[in-house]
Structure 1
Amino acid sequence: MAQQAAPVGTMIGDRIRVPRTRIRVGVSRRDITPPVGIRAKNWGPADWERSEGVHRPFALTALALIGDDGRPRLLLAVDGTWWRRVADEQGVRGAILDGLGLEPDQLMLSLSHTHAGAVLCAADAHLSGGELIPGYLEALAAAGIAAGREALDGAEPGLIEWAQGRCALAADRELVLDGRALVGFNPAGDADDTVVIGRISVGGRVRATLVNYACHPTTLAWQSREVSPDYVGAMREIVESATDAPCLFVQGASGELAPREQYTGDVSVADRHGRSLGHAVLAALDALPAPGDEVTLDGVVESGAPLAIWAGRPAEADGSASGTTTSVDLPLRDLPTLDELAEEWKDIDPRSREERLGRARNLREGYIDGPTVRHPVWAWRVGDAVLLGHPGEAYSRLQRTLRARFPGVPIVVMNLTNGPGFVYLPTREAYDRGAYQAWQTPLAPGALDLLEEHASRVVAELLGR
């Protein structure tokens, strides 16, 4: 199917209204590149455990938002893998909250989900390279505090103007081959190609770009021994070179989405993927009028044909802000014991078996404490837009559903944000296929449906609908 350019605004009378937010904004960044030698074994087939180099630097970028309610809100976009234990996520986020004097509803810490980063699990400190993990987690918290404080203290009146682009990088990764469900490019599958972009400006000058896209950063796998932000690194370089301002990336609802070409050790492939997304972002940004303007019908000039003249004119922007932290009860499926899993996986190679068992063990610590689990959701309204984050790995239907139910509203949907609850939320069809995401998650079929309905109610309430 041919891709169509996304609209940059809504036609209202004689003007094209760009969704925008007038708000105090602050931006700050810290380098969080993991030290060489840290444990970076994120794949079962890996026959190595310590990183041996760095492909591209890792970044923690803070975006402070202070609307007309006067309540500061802080988004931390972090190049990182995923939390393997509730205790580690709570330790890092809790230290940042304490260090900045914020309440839990005021902070969203969102991981990019690179699969070529440091292991974020202090319980692995006894393993090769693991001795560097506790110190790295402390450094993450310190970077979050320092960048957050700088962003909050430096916040000044600005604008966020929202655009939507398209990028063909993401593809469906649920391939069925000879009756077996695999995790890899499915040429017959459909993929959400939406990129949501926020251009953040102060006094007419771009201060930052917020990019929300759903695609697993799984380009680089066990063959690469360098830590890497995957495609996010090259994307960031492309956008920052063009805008001369920091770029924040937040992972969308990408449970079933990944690049077509992945599981490689060739870093040039990750860079190529990043350029693809970066150019899509720039194309959408270039379709926006100048900061603070909206395109307005300025008159008609008679020529060989009557010419409609459109020009940029200053526009008003909404400065309202609100937020909420809620949770939804999600059902659990009947879970096999760890012994039963070990027996089920006894015939696969030992390294992969231990990786699977370790993930299953970590999922049971701190998240599951009854017949259902309380899955948290954070949501902020900032002017015309809504930012919604949760800690799971929802399928892209979550973001498609929200955007369809609230047309014209920029909705930033973020997986892997805050915690606890680092679990897949697949569609019912994925369970029927026996997809990896379905048998790996402790959640029962229907959990995604419940999250969608809950998130829809939360967004409706924030928008006053």
Structure 2
Amino acid sequence: MNFNLKANISSTPFNIPEGVYLAGYGHRDKPNIGTHDALHTKAVTISNGEKTIMIISNDLLGVNEEIVKRVVNGIKEGFDILEENIFICATHTHAAPDIFDWEFDKRYSQMDLNKEAKEIIINTIIENGLKSTKDLKPVQLAFGQSKGEGIASNRIDKNALVDNLVSGIFLIGEDNLPLCTMVNYACHPTVLGAENLYISRDYPGVTQSLVEDHFGKDSICMFMNGACGNQSTRFTRRSQDFHEVERIGEILFESVLKAYDNRIAIEDSTISVVKEYFQFPRKQLPSREEAEAYYQTMTEKLNMAKRNLGIAPEELRGIITKHQGAGITLELLEVLDDLNLNAPIQLVRLGNLVFVGVPVELFNDYGFLIKEKSKFPNTIIVGYTNGMLGYVYTPQSYEVGDYEAWSSPFHINTGEKLVEKVINLMEEL
């Protein structure tokens, strides 16, 4: 084996107290009542002797510009690394603290206990990141893929195309076992619904724990979500409890093992990074009269659906989210012009792999396009990187009134502009 890289990885749980409100569901109005499984921050530092990168994944709904800047500055104070070489993403669990004003909702993120949790989270990410810079060990890079059947579906149309590719990025140590396993899969971690009041990593947490148990105590697994804007377990889950979290997580775990069996060593030890701000195009909103009329229509549909005792839970959930999207459009009429939609796109090349970090919830349509147009044989889309500005949706999604499209601050053509930008940035790697 050619150990042409050095790396180390670290993992630390967040110590989140009871009483902190959770993010992810706007109509959840009660604080957490305990921790089912601890949220973690995980960092891997990788060096080829000339360049060093740090990849950080956090069991959070997302990160915002303030959190990223504070983490980067804290890490740079303790370790000599370029700002653009620190890659920070979130798994998007909907059972983590509300620590920034997502969907323009400030009810909970500004509460004292939530602000305290935010400080705990930021400090823990910094400390854990610095821990990963110590005692780098020789590793070989390997990459494998498999299919994760029965996990994600298109959450808007269960018959639409789904990206079920499971990618495993493995840093294999001299003991011939993975020091680090990075799992990339595109699926909202929303097995647990708004009724859940326990802190949890959702299904990615189960997968990570099983991978770590399988490969041994010195092995750490981190999860990186993909282009999952329109992918979730809405049509595949059998319930919304922790038994189902286990079932879904175990399916993904088995797929990770298949990806490991399919792995191919990557001899190329090139490391390069490009991080550039992109002005996301601003949406052209409907008039207030049109927005109010649509909201009224969706309110009537929702009331009718609630009276239908035979309606399937997933169908009701779709109507609820469309109603929420119509409501957020009314809020956008007030705040859209003041939103900062200038955010970084970050590409990290590791051998013949490229991580494409985007600060949005990207529809799988555009994930497929980026992979298709990429000059790299192995392209990993990582959502919720350096921010969580909103959904990048398709024109068709807006036309039928989907929640994702109507809640987004972005213009209807943002997807094609973003794909073009990413492909152009690849030329700089």
For the superposition of Structure 1 and Structure 2, which TM-score range results when normalised by the shorter chain? 0.7 to 0.9
Retained in 2: the 8 A contact 1:196–1:410? no
Retained in 1: the 8 A contact 2:204–2:223? yes
1:144 pairs with 100, 115, 125, which one? Answer: 125
1:385 pairs with 346, 353, 356, which one? Answer: 353
Question: Which amino acid letter does the alignment assign opposite residue 332 of structure 1?
Answer: R
Distance 1:359 1:57 in 2: 36
Count of aligned residue pairs for this structure pair: 401
TM-score by structure 2 length?
A: 0.82
Distance 1:136 1:365 in 2: 28
Deviations 1:31-83 (A, max 9, x none): 1152222111532443x421012221211110112124x23211111000134
Question: Which amino acid letter does the alignment assign opposite residue 208 of structure 2?
Answer: R
Is the alpha carbon distance of 1:28 and 1:134 closer, same or farther for their aligned partners in structure 2, counting shifts above 3 Å?
Answer: same
Retained in 2: the 8 A contact 1:217–1:231? yes
Structure 1 match to 2:425:
458
Residue 93 (structure 2) pairs with residue 114 (structure 1): yes
Once the 2 structures are TM-superposed, how far is the Cα of residue 375 of structure 1 from its aligned partner?
3.8
Deviations 1:311-356 (A, max 9, x none): xxxxx8112111111133332122369999789657589xx97995
Structure 2 match to 1:304:
none
Distance 1:124 1:44 in 2: 8
Q: Where in structure 2 are the equivalents of 1:400-439 lying within 5 Å?
A: 400-406=368-374, 409-419=377-387, 422-439=389-406
Distance 1:430 1:138 in 2: 37
Structure 1 match to 2:54:
74
Residue 187 (structure 2) pairs with residue 205 (structure 1): no
Distance 1:338 1:109 in 2: 37
Q: Identify which range, 92-101 or 410-419, moves more after superposition.
A: 92-101
Name the SS for the 1:379 alignment partner.
strand
Higher helix share: 2
Is the alpha carbon distance of 1:94 and 1:249 closer, same or farther for their aligned partners in structure 2, counting shifts above 3 Å?
Answer: same
Distance 1:92 1:356 in 2: 33
Distance 2:381 2:328 in 1: 30
Structure 1 match to 2:164:
193
Q: Where in structure 2 are the equivalents of 1:12-411 lying within 5 Å?
A: 22-40=4-22, 42-46=24-28, 48-68=29-49, 70-83=50-63, 86-98=65-77, 100=79, 102-121=81-100, 127=108, 130-168=111-149, 169-175=151-157, 186=158, 188-203=159-174, 204-244=176-216, 245-259=219-233, 260-262=235-237, 265-288=240-263, 317-335=267-285, 345=295, 360=331, 364=335, 368=339, 373-406=341-374, 409-411=377-379
Distance 2:77 2:329 in 1: 30
Is the alpha carbon distance of 1:345 and 1:434 closer, same or farther for their aligned partners in structure 2, counting shifts above 3 Å?
Answer: closer
Deviations 1:117-155 (A, max 9, x none): 211227988759932222221122222222111211222
Once the 2 structures are TM-superposed, how far is the Cα of residue 91 of structure 1 from its aligned partner?
4.2
Is the alpha carbon distance of 1:354 and 1:325 closer, same or farther for their aligned partners in structure 2, counting shifts above 3 Å?
Answer: closer
Retained in 2: the 8 A contact 1:125–1:134? no
Deviations 1:344-387 (A, max 9, x none): 657589xx979955995799489735xxx434210111112111
Structure 2 match to 1:446:
413
Is the alpha carbon distance of 1:358 and 1:399 closer, same or farther for their aligned partners in structure 2, counting shifts above 3 Å?
Answer: closer
TM-score by structure 1 length?
A: 0.77
Retained in 1: the 8 A contact 2:32–2:198? yes
Is the alpha carbon distance of 1:58 and 1:338 closer, same or farther for their aligned partners in structure 2, counting shifts above 3 Å?
Answer: farther
Once the 2 structures are TM-superposed, how far is the Cα of residue 286 of structure 1 from its aligned partner?
2.1
Distance 2:133 2:335 in 1: 36
Name the SS for the 1:161 alignment partner.
strand
Q: Which is greater in Rg?
A: 1
Question: Which amino acid letter does the alignment assign opposite residue 278 of structure 2?
Answer: V
Name the SS for the 2:384 alignment partner.
coil
Name the SS for the 1:273 alignment partner.
helix
Is the alpha carbon distance of 1:363 and 1:275 closer, same or farther for their aligned partners in structure 2, counting shifts above 3 Å?
Answer: farther
Name the SS for the 1:217 alignment partner.
coil
